[in-house]
A and B are shown apart, each in its own frame.
Chain A
């Protein structure tokens, strides 16, 4: 800096060199901050997993694999099986995807292709955001007040015990929660289908619905499938609304009307009052839940890869 004089090229070089060094330091500092943040998140995830494994280990040590092979969950008798809850989780989440599928597909196509702009599209967007922001306990309330009586009267008509709560009720509320989510993911994918492909189809005399079925949906298939896997991941882990509506029965569900428990709902329901091996078993249920959601995410990604279209 002391060498700096007007027209002194070497002085200017020296300054720029020192500025370069300070730039480098800043860049390095920023990069290490990013790395630190990234590693912390990874460590939290790792800590979750390690905790779940360590805490549930005593159960496997004591009872071997009866956790996965027996069918009974009776904490008073120290009988712990994850299967009733695994079945409850799979049934509710798959059924809810099944119910949500036609609605969210229709909405995705409507908003991704037919009504890209305009008041309806804007309204849908804000409604989606609002729905996503509603606490799930409110969905649970609504389910108890509106859905339960409806299901009860349906059960009476069918000559079944009018529980009102159970797999179907929980699945319905889950599908209501999932539809806006899956539809907005689907809309994003559909609206990204290149216009030139649609035009190519129109130029060959395709009608709008033919463009949807032969161009848009095949092109967007991988993204739409991935969207449903994300939605499935949500349904599997959803706790509060399901706990309120599933009936909290620890038996393997016999049908869509039977009360049941999901992995998430049994943890929410029993963890507060559990102790000893019961706590350990609930943690083991949590471990299975975490592995299941991980697998669903992984499956979604590999499906996405398999169906990927170039260009």
Chain B
């Protein structure tokens, strides 16, 4: 079994008094893709948002977390949230490149936002590498200094993945990254994730069972805020232990 990158112990997440995630214990393995599945409202997105502590940004909903999350053995609750988020990147459901920035600036937005200064040629390298890794370089290399908003939805999402990769994170969290995209763009992103896992651990929330089956090594099944079943995708899809998992996978609810 591979190394554990992220370990979650006794995690509870709240919005005010409402519990959204209940006592979750799970380990995520290095250089693997883990899919998080479950019916709408099962807490899978909230769970994902706990992993980089962005859950707690939502002050208005009185969001808070209990329990421990370890990144390579280090408790992220004791790390500065800013450091956590640099080491655990995130890609959202809706592509969200910054409309006021050029493609180039979007890729290095993490550095700009954090006020990290680098030489121009270093940034050039980061931009080229990140865009190459997301198979976007050939498509945009002549328009790096244009705004990113003229790109197609799929390209925008790959730009957002490039933006997350540019910070060289250990883990990338993806929250239903293809749900706003057409099948071709989706296929491209899936292919991309398969290549990226050589260097980075990927955790992806998905509604799409077929997608989880295609790309993930491990699958976690959430139901009403609880982690009901977790194991290799092969095992979970062919021989689920929990009846609810089976019902979900066979389309009886969800």
Q: Which A residues are within 8 Å of any B CB, using their own CB?
A: 116-117, 194, 196-197, 199-207, 210-211, 214-215, 218-219, 221, 309-311
- Chain A contacts for B54, CB-based, 8 A: 199, 202-203
In Å, the complex CA distance between A215 and B114 comes to 12
- B92 and A200 contact, CB distance less than 8 A: yes
Minimum C-beta distance from A82 to chain B (A): 41
- Chain B contacts for A202, CB-based, 8 A: 54, 57, 85
Complex: chain A residue closest to B115, CB-CB: A210
Could you write out 5 A-B pairs with CB less than 8 Å apart? A116-B60, A201-B98, A204-B163, A205-B82, A310-B99
Indicate if B113 sits at the interface (CB-CB under 8 A): yes
- B85 and A204 contact, CB distance less than 8 A: yes
The interface centre, meaning the residue of B82, B85, B100, B101 with most chain A CB atoms within 10 A of its CB, is B100
- B100 and A199 contact, CB distance less than 8 A: no
A206 and B99 in contact (CB under 8 A), knowing A116-B60, A310-B149?
Answer: no
Minimum C-beta distance from B244 to chain A (A): 31
A215 and B98 in contact (CB under 8 A), knowing A117-B60, A204-B163, A311-B149?
Answer: yes
Minimum C-beta distance from A226 to chain B (A): 16
In Å, the complex CA distance between A50 and B84 comes to 66
Minimum C-beta distance from A259 to chain B (A): 44
- A214 and B113 contact, CB distance less than 8 A: yes
Interface footprint category on B:
20 to 34
Minimum C-beta distance from A75 to chain B (A): 52
- Chain B contacts for A206, CB-based, 8 A: 82, 113-114
- A205 and B98 contact, CB distance less than 8 A: no
Minimum C-beta distance from A192 to chain B (A): 13
Indicate if B160 sits at the interface (CB-CB under 8 A): yes
- B89 and A201 contact, CB distance less than 8 A: no
- Chain A contacts for B81, CB-based, 8 A: 205
- A200 and B96 contact, CB distance less than 8 A: yes
Minimum C-beta distance from B28 to chain A (A): 18
- Chain B contacts for A204, CB-based, 8 A: 85-86, 89, 109-110, 113-114, 163-164, 167
In Å, the complex CA distance between A201 and B83 comes to 13
- Chain B contacts for A116, CB-based, 8 A: 60
Across the A-B interface, the 10 shortest Cβ-Cβ residue pairs: A203-B90, A204-B110, A206-B113, A310-B149, A205-B85, A205-B82, A218-B100, A205-B86, A196-B96, A311-B99
Complex: chain B residue closest to A203, CB-CB: B90
> Contact mask B184-227 → A, CB, 8 Å, 1/0?
00000000000000000000000000000000000000000000
- A203 and B52 contact, CB distance less than 8 A: yes
Indicate if B112 sits at the interface (CB-CB under 8 A): yes
Indicate if B147 sits at the interface (CB-CB under 8 A): yes
Minimum C-beta distance from A121 to chain B (A): 11
